[in-house]
Structure 1
């Protein structure tokens, strides 16, 4: 009965989280296509340069604080208010630092436009501090429907605002205004929906307990985010803003899918797993199911997207963005392995092993740095290739600790992953070969999508894929309930 309740909670949460992500990303995707046709690659490049610093600062504001609240089984109003004040005060401090450092960031990139953009973009930090506690409250309640409503409203309204600004000739500021308005609207809508409000409560004792767990998660996330953004920083520093725009545009498409599916699973899985952090047998069963399901869904989507990259970009973004195609193909394969990393990291968070989480980052990042240095030497394309190599390496490293934590080691995980990987590669080869048909981009894309879906479904039936049987069985059960 408890297992069914966990399963239903997970799928209910996943349904709303996935719908939130897909709606937000779809709206964002449509808006970005419109903006990409109006704005220049250099405009996107400037925002990408600034994003490096904003994303890093945002980790300090949102990462460890909210995670600690979700992981603690008996979090109270005192805990929520305490963490809110810690997060909010720290966000103000970080904004002041960014404001002061803005001219130096501009000098680093040899671009004066960066200074004012940094100072404006940084205003998102205090908003993110408040929003992260709202998100933690919702995650504990597994009430992701509320996030769906707030994110959808914010994405649509901010998208309209951004497009209007672009048509009015705001240039790079259209992107800044769109991003800030998205954060503000989302926070306001959640404020209306949920009952939580910060109270005049604070405990240094509770802050110490929560931060003792949270700082390790924060440190691990910061290291991971810093090195992830280091590629953008290096490309922006040593190559043109247009090159950075092509790299990021190539990464946008796989991220669209990865965020929608993988992030949805991870976000919902963490609070559900946290309830059973002491029951290692139950935890392993949940993780194994999650890994099988996520790889079964993510692998074909990533390899399929890589196969249709050229006609897709030609159709949606026009030929001026064709240099983004090879980046997109490489980063699609890289993102295919990210789901393995994310699932394994959720286990460590849920079981309270934030110390192992931090140690893993310290083990992985020297390799990342070496690969990045090699990539810089041989050009932007090699930077993308080294990202793929690192993603495979990181997935293997992140598998290893869970042999001790939940008795789910590398060998057993590979046995769950490889079937979906091999079938996805087979599908990729078949779909990619259709690119050479002498037909229009629209027709090529349509044929590729249909063939790809048919191959994967038929392959799942022929090879008796366990995840296909599980998902189809669950869907049939849901349909019967609805009758």
Structure 2
């Protein structure tokens, strides 16, 4: 039976999951700038383009079957093993396709020189898909502490490997080695943590019973992949690998807050919402509270990054990347706009509404691809990022409408409550940007020290301004969170 869900279970697992992502954040915060200083934008671009194909096939390979295991009432052994073998068969077939047609794939992405990397990285697909079943078992059991430990360890080993190899002059192979080492360590860790061992059991009837839900998940994953990777493909095809590398580096760094909070929270919320399938009122309250909290935390980080993007880009990545600071700032804005949508995917998955998830993902993918393509062809990389922000603003409205309609809650009032922290974040970021424009000339001299001072002043001012706005606009939410904390302390006592 799945683990019982209560406030203590949820907060403990969210804590472990976020701790895992925070540790990964620390690694990326250190390793990405180091690698960016050692490697060229072209080298980043080649690996990013090759990884696009591998990520796409890994994302859709399981066809959502592993996610279906989380919703099952019982942990049926035959079903679990059947899903594993189907996943493995699909993974091997996909890996073979990448290896055989590497050159056409790379050419379609506008980077034929990445074909040799595609053949090597094709072997990542089985490594990644073979761990899906084990991860789903951990999610069912709400054992995110074990997943967190192995995630941190695998990412640490991969990051150290990449930096060492880059310093030794291995170039792009340092990035490739990072992916393989992390995948191998994580796969072994998941099997160890769950105690899962594949057995020769296969029931197509059991797998077939999961397909309706899983195909909806697969469809949404395909379109989500298009959403997240199409900007890189468009930039690579029309603007070249140097701009693709600049986009990739900026996107990696601006995605860190998302990876810390969202990846940690979303992994936990999916099984949590699925456990609440028989209590619509409780699930609705959980949706609103989790959406407000994630927006309160994530939105100021992203809009604040936009406010200090110019000194931050120089400080973190070095002078060879300094020209790309508008790209970093606009990518941060685009992700900040989507802050209220952070909990929507796990809610729809946990509610069993993969059909809604599918068509929303399809509309978002069309918007992002169309708007970014228009921006690239009419104004270059910066214009493309501006249009990405526009696409996400439109997405925010119709995504929120779809989720609140599914949840049977009023759209306008719910939309206002969940986006209010984002409005406060925008005001804060604009105030910080205005402040820096007027004080940066008087900060300590020297390019590097001036950048450090700007980031420090911006962070301090932003925290003070946002804290004040939060007290003025979110008193009810803060009071509710305080009550939950006191309730948990009382239960522990």
TM-score in terms of structure 1 length: 0.94
Q: By how many angstroms is 1:326 displaced?
A: 0.8
Separation in 1 of the partners of 2:219 and 2:72? 18
Pairing 1:457–2:467 present: yes
3-state SS in 1 of match to 2:277: coil
Q: By how many angstroms is 1:408 displaced?
A: 2.3
Give the gaps of 5 or more residues in structure 1.
none
Q: Please, which moves more after superposition, 327-336 or 14-23? A: 327-336
3-state SS in 1 of match to 2:101: helix
2:185 corresponds to: 185
3-state SS in 1 of match to 2:74: coil
1:389 corresponds to: 390
Query: Quick check: 1:291–1:343 contact (8 Å CA) kept in 2?
Result: yes
Q: By how many angstroms is 1:180 displaced?
A: 0.9
Separation in 2 of the partners of 1:109 and 1:60? 19
- The change in CA–CA distance for 1:250 and 1:111 in structure 2 (over 3 A counts) is closer
- The change in CA–CA distance for 1:42 and 1:81 in structure 2 (over 3 A counts) is same
Q: By how many angstroms is 1:105 displaced?
A: 3.1
1:352 corresponds to: 352
Separation in 1 of the partners of 2:311 and 2:58? 35
- The change in CA–CA distance for 1:422 and 1:50 in structure 2 (over 3 A counts) is same
Map 1:362-441; keep pairs closer than 5 Å.
Answer: 362-378=362-378, 379-436=380-437, 437=439, 438=441, 439=443, 440-441=450-451
Separation in 1 of the partners of 2:474 and 2:340? 22
1:293 corresponds to: 293
- The change in CA–CA distance for 1:342 and 1:71 in structure 2 (over 3 A counts) is farther
Query: Quick check: 1:18–1:264 contact (8 Å CA) kept in 2?
Result: yes
Q: By how many angstroms is 1:302 displaced?
A: 0.9
Separation in 1 of the partners of 2:310 and 2:281? 45
RMSD: 2.1
Number of equivalent positions: 480
Query: Quick check: 1:273–1:347 contact (8 Å CA) kept in 2?
Result: yes
Aligned equivalent of 1:470, options 472, 476, 480: 480
How big is each residue's C-alpha offset from its partner over 1:16-68, in whole Å with a ceiling of 9 and x where there is no partner?
A: 11011111121123111111111111100101111221111111225612211
Map 1:60-79; keep pairs closer than 5 Å.
Answer: 60-62=60-62, 64-79=64-79
- The change in CA–CA distance for 1:360 and 1:5 in structure 2 (over 3 A counts) is closer
How big is each residue's C-alpha offset from its partner over 1:428-455, in whole Å with a ceiling of 9 and x where there is no partner?
A: 1222123232221112211211121122
Pairing 1:133–2:133 present: yes
Q: By how many angstroms is 1:142 displaced?
A: 1.0
TM-score in terms of structure 2 length: 0.92
Map 1:144-163; keep pairs closer than 5 Å.
Answer: 144-163=144-163
Give the gaps of 5 or more residues in structure 2.
444-449
Separation in 2 of the partners of 1:248 and 1:106? 17
1:90 corresponds to: 90
2:13 corresponds to: 13
Query: Quick check: 1:396–1:410 contact (8 Å CA) kept in 2?
Result: no
Separation in 2 of the partners of 1:207 and 1:224? 24
Pairing 1:238–2:248 present: no
Q: By how many angstroms is 1:95 displaced?
A: 0.4
Separation in 1 of the partners of 2:375 and 2:398? 21
